[in-house]
Structure 1
């Protein structure tokens, strides 16, 4: 399994801990930044880079870390075909894979501690999509995404007049 990993400066330290954890487990991963904790990097830049790599099939899954995990989740979910899940507990991480086939795990470095983050990563790595009734629902998500992307015209501002 190949993992793409990235963070903004708020998630740098936790990203490094997770990267080390993955290496100790023999999981191949590539770091999409930042290269140090002082490098200012906007989470959308990293979130899009990682999610696009997965969309293109270069990596199997991705892990993204920012301060809360929310910005990375929103960003990665904008990439067609990507399902990113914000998880701060092992049950949600397991279900993100088993029920939603989420290819991207996001976490907030200001929300979760390093030891729990390792357990969350492991639960997510160990889980596989089990289809069943969830397969129909994930297929509906993918079809809806495709339909919306095809019908999108020029973007306009909505007003409440």
Structure 2
């Protein structure tokens, strides 16, 4: 599985930990930046990860900023992206199983690295349940055309 990562300065250090964890776990990881704790604008990195998924360069994405809010909003502006801000593993599993989320958003200033890695692990291992949830995901996709 290919995973695209992106973060602003607030999420840079956590992104680096997640990148190492994913690579050690056997995933192919593409890093869309940033490359330091120097202040940058989160929309660029959320959009880059979203675009990578839409261009089939990755199967899933993970975006990180201070709270996870801004970068998730940015990723969700890319057509076809369903980014979910998760603060626990249950949310991560439900985001994949019920909402077919393809991008996980995390807040580096909200959760610690240990919890973040557990959330990441849950997110990448879960899969869409389909069934009654498929109709709802189709409805979400239809909203992109409004």
Shift of 1:94: 0.3
The unaligned stretches of length 5 or more in structure 2 are none
Paired with 2:106 and 2:141, the residues of 1 have a C-alpha distance of 23
Shift of 1:144: 2.2
1:32 aligned partner? 32
Shift of 1:49: 0.7
1:87 aligned partner? 86
1:19-98 correspondence runs (5 A): 19-37=19-37, 39-98=38-97
Q: If you compute each CA radius of gyration, which structure gives the higher value, 1 or 2?
A: 1
Q: Which range is displaced more, 88-97 or 53-62?
A: 53-62
1:135 aligned partner? 134
- TM-score normalised by the chain length of structure 2: 0.97
Q: CA RMSD in A?
A: 0.8
SS of residue in 2 equivalent to 1:81: coil
1:5 aligned partner? 5
Paired with 1:36 and 1:140, the residues of 2 have a C-alpha distance of 38
2:116 aligned partner? 117
Shift of 1:29: 0.4
The unaligned stretches of length 5 or more in structure 1 are 149-161
SS of residue in 2 equivalent to 1:85: strand
Could you report, residue by residue, the CA deviation over 1:4-31 in whole angstroms, capped at 9, with x for unpaired residues? 1010011011000100110110111011
Shift of 1:58: 1.4
Structure 1: which 4+ aligned runs deviate by more than 6 Å? Answer: none
SS of residue in 2 equivalent to 1:129: coil
